[in-house]
Amino acid sequence: MNNDHEETMIVANGFTGIDVDKMDYFAQDARSVGLPNSFDWRRFTQTAKIICVKDERNEEFRHICSRDKDAPSLYEMFHTRTLLYRSVYRHKTVIIVEDLMKEALRKANHVIRVNGYPLLECWKNVDAFLTLNDTIEDYILQLSDEKLSPPLPPPNAPATELFDAKKIFARITERQLPKFVGRTGNESNDHKKLACDFVRDKGLEINESYLKSKEAIFNFGKRGEDPIMSHYFYYKENPGIMPKPYKFKKEEVSSLLPHQLDETQLLWYYDVTEHDKECTSNDEAKTGSAIMEILLKYFTSEANK
């Protein structure tokens, strides 16, 4: 690593994940949603030092090191990250809205062309990519069939896909979202089959395609690894002498720290809106809400096991 590496690590630290970009958006987002943020970024920046360290190949590089007593505070930063992911970034409603938006954009892929590129291929061209922004949803909703790009085979595909994309975005706007019914761990149990059988045992028929799961992963940013174990610290020694960097062992920081730093959950949703549309077309009673209540009971009982 060259000696300019620390300049990059200040903003985007792929080595430990400790950088001012995280500190900034953690502080802003926690304040915006009313969540606690106990990490003191001011103290971190005041006590951080750039010290030469050696990597596994015995090559020297300059690393941003922290005071030894700042280790617990750095764990608080990653705890704040996990809290924000659970409460905001991977909230159950955020996950399903993101999923619907991705589905709508996939439907509109061949309907919209930017500088000659289909919507999902705009990343291949800088000018086309920079043209896209948050107004794409409004653009799709206001787009009429007459304004479509030249049809791609089959000839009626663009109009059908545009209608589907509009319908999905309208569902998001009107909050007709698939309903959250519970969460499970990422174990091997076939909860979809078990939950559907549970509903059928109650005398109701369920369309399995309306019950789906979405994965939510929570960790400290390094896929289960402890980022603090990659970070270098220093003791406060003589003011005129550059301190020697070292790494902590977890037990040296505290015996109360968590041992498992990653978790995968499956969030389950039932599409009551689509179920009731199907029932209406078949002149049946709308049973979507009743099925949702039964699914809630199933996943609640699974969570309490």
- How far apart are the C-alpha atoms of 113 and 2, rounded to whole Å? 43
- pLDDT tens sequence for the chain (305 residues): 455 666 788 898 888 999 999 999 999 999 999 998 989 999 999 999 999 988 778 888 888 999 999 999 999 999 999 999 999 999 999 999 999 999 999 999 988 888 889 999 999 999 999 988 888 888 888 876 555 444 444 444 566 888 899 999 999 999 999 999 999 987 778 999 999 999 999 999 999 999 999 999 999 988 888 999 999 999 987 777 888 899 998 888 888 888 889 999 999 999 998 888 877 655 556 788 999 999 999 999 876 66
Asked whether residue 119 falls in the same domain as residue 237, the answer is no
| CB-CB contact of 278 with 207 (8 Å) | yes
- How far apart are the C-alpha atoms of 61 and 153, rounded to whole Å? 56
Asked whether residue 106 falls in the same domain as residue 170, the answer is yes
191 token code pair: 């909860």
- For residue 300, the Cα-to-chain-centroid distance in whole angstroms is 24
- For residue 150, the Cα-to-chain-centroid distance in whole angstroms is 36
Contacts of 84 by beta carbon, 8 Å cutoff, 6+ apart:
26, 29, 30, 33, 35
Asked whether residue 100 falls in the same domain as residue 169, the answer is yes
Radius of gyration of the chain (CA): 26
Asked whether residue 172 falls in the same domain as residue 184, the answer is no
Asked whether residue 169 falls in the same domain as residue 142, the answer is yes
- How far apart are the C-alpha atoms of 80 and 148, rounded to whole Å? 46
Asked whether residue 117 falls in the same domain as residue 80, the answer is no
User: How many domains are there within the chain?
Assistant: 3
Asked whether residue 34 falls in the same domain as residue 18, the answer is yes
Asked whether residue 196 falls in the same domain as residue 295, the answer is yes
What type of residue is 238? N
Predicted confidence at residue 257, as pLDDT, reads 84
- How far apart are the C-alpha atoms of 39 and 73, rounded to whole Å? 6
Asked whether residue 114 falls in the same domain as residue 24, the answer is no
Asked whether residue 201 falls in the same domain as residue 252, the answer is no
Asked whether residue 212 falls in the same domain as residue 297, the answer is yes
> What does each C-alpha distance from 265 to 31, 61, 86 come to in angstroms?
26, 38, 11
Query: Which H, E and C letters describe the chain, residue by residue?
Result: CCCCHHHHHHHCCCCCCCCHHHHHHHHHHHHHHCCCCCCCHHHHHHHCEEEEEECCCCCEEEEEEEEHHHHHHHHHHHHHHHHHHHHHHCCHHHHHHHHHHHHHHHHCCCCCEECCEEHHHHHHCHHHHHHCCCCHHHHHHHCCHHHCCCCCCCCCHHHHHHHHHHHHHHHHHCCCCCEEEEEEECCCCCHHHHHHHHHHHCCCCCCHHHEEEEEEEEECCCCCCCHHHHCCEECCCCCCCCCCCECCCHHHHCCCCCCCCEEEEEEEEECHHHHHHHHHHCCCCCCHHHHHHHHHHHHHHHHCC
- How far apart are the C-alpha atoms of 89 and 81, rounded to whole Å? 10
Domain boundaries, position 291 = 179-218+265-305
Give the alpha-carbon dihedral of 190, 194, 196, 202, to 10 degrees.
Answer: -170
C-alpha count within 13 angstroms, C-beta hemisphere, residue 289: 3
Asked whether residue 79 falls in the same domain as residue 104, the answer is no
First to last CA, the chain: 50
175 token code pair: 């909050």
